[in-house]
Amino acid sequence: MSRQLPRIIVLTGPTGTGKTALTVELVERFGGEVVSADSRQVYKYLDVGTAKPDADELRRARHHLIDYVDPAEPFSVTRYREDADAALDDLAARGQIAWVVGGSWHYIQALVDRIEPPRVPPIPELRAELERQAAEHGPTALHARLAVVDPAAAAQIDARNVRRVVRALEVTLSLGRRFSEVGRFRGTPLPALKLALSMPRDELYHRVDRRVDAMIEAGWVDEVRSLIARGYDERMPSLSSHGYREMMAVARGTLSLEEAVQKTKWMVHAYIRRQTSWLKQQPEYHWLEAGPDAFTRAADLVSAFLS
């Protein structure tokens, strides 16, 4: 590969395992900058509910690809890879390590593994019809339709992620072949050290439940009210992130806060199961148990990789 690349270290893992905190410590030890691989932290104004790095973490480690896309703006895996590639080129030119960090595995696949989505151009009429069905009957109904024609794809895609459900149906219906079985183009993977942070399932559920409660205390509902005041609504793909539609329902008075919090926790639990399932299928990752020894273990692996 003639392209100049930085040294790349991937750190992923299920939501709530402490990826950001560990990365900041590693950046302070080894240097470099973070290239986010989080599909929701790219959006402006979605701060509390996406657990963006706080001011102290941003001061200690420079982050790329967070907080720069308007929630009403279309954003795709292809756009992410273009922007992330530009960040890698910049880091290479400045001799910086690139820490690719986040839990959005399709972003990591696109950037580091060089996997592209099926090369099927958008079909505006079909896409509009599928989006209309989701709006009229709800995301769950559209996801159920996907489960009938492609159970494997449905198992991997969150029912609330309307954009991805629509895309899977669009490809399946237009090609007459299941989205999960359509061969995706794979380029040459980028050389990288790949780390995955883990935690016992029950402990992680308890941890993310506390985090959801902390988000409420930090003003998540107020954040959602400000989004509504700006003209954003729950039909936008950017607001399919866990909890935002529920908090919008709270703000509109159609759902109690207690119900919204419980639904959000259950959705995050389900997402953790999908993230873990995907990671278990990736043999090239070094697993790190979250806790006091995680930094030492990670630092040893990073030192060996950099040398």
- Residues 228-263: pLDDT tens digits? 999 998 888 888 888 999 999 999 999 999 999 999
pTM of the model: 0.83
Confidence of residue 118 (pLDDT cuts 50, 70, 90): low
- Domain(s) labelled CATH 1.10.20.140 in the chain stretch across 124-181
The answer to whether 28 and 94 have CB atoms below 8 angstroms apart is no
The whole-number average pLDDT for the span 31-43 is: 97
Considering only residues 290 and 240, tell me which one the structure prediction assigns the higher pLDDT: 290
pLDDT more than 70, % of the chain: 97
pLDDT at 1 over 80: no
pLDDT more than 90, % of the chain: 70
Confidence of residue 137 (pLDDT cuts 50, 70, 90): confident
The whole-number average pLDDT for the span 81-90 is: 97
Topology at the third CATH level for domain 124-181: Histone, subunit A (1.10.20)
The per-residue pLDDT for 117 is 67
The whole-number average pLDDT for the span 53-67 is: 97
The per-residue pLDDT for 184 is 60
- Distance of alpha carbon 297 from alpha carbon 280, whole angstroms: 19
Helix/strand/coil (H/E/C) assignment for every residue in the chain? CCCCCCCEEEEECCCCCCHHHHHHHHHHHHCCEEEECCCCCCECCCCCCCCCCCHHHHHHCCEECCCCECCCCCCCHHHHHHHHHHHHHHHHHCCCCEEEECCCHHHHHHHCCCECCCCCCCCHHHHHHHHHHHHHHCHHHHHHHHHHHCHHHHHHCCCCCHHHHHHHHHHHHHHCCCHHHCCCCECCCCCEEEEEEECCHHHHHHHHHHHHHHHHHCCHHHHHHHHHHCCCCCCCHHHHCCCHHHHHHHHHCCCCHHHHHHHHHHHHHHHHHHHHHHHHCCCCCEEEECCCCHHHHHHHHHHHHHC
The whole-number average pLDDT for the span 283-302 is: 96
- Domain(s) labelled CATH 3.40.50.300 in the chain stretch across 8-116+185-306
The whole-number average pLDDT for the span 265-280 is: 92
Instruction: Provide CATH code, domain 8-116+185-306.
Output: 3.40.50.300
pLDDT at 165 over 80: yes
The whole-number average pLDDT for the span 56-67 is: 97
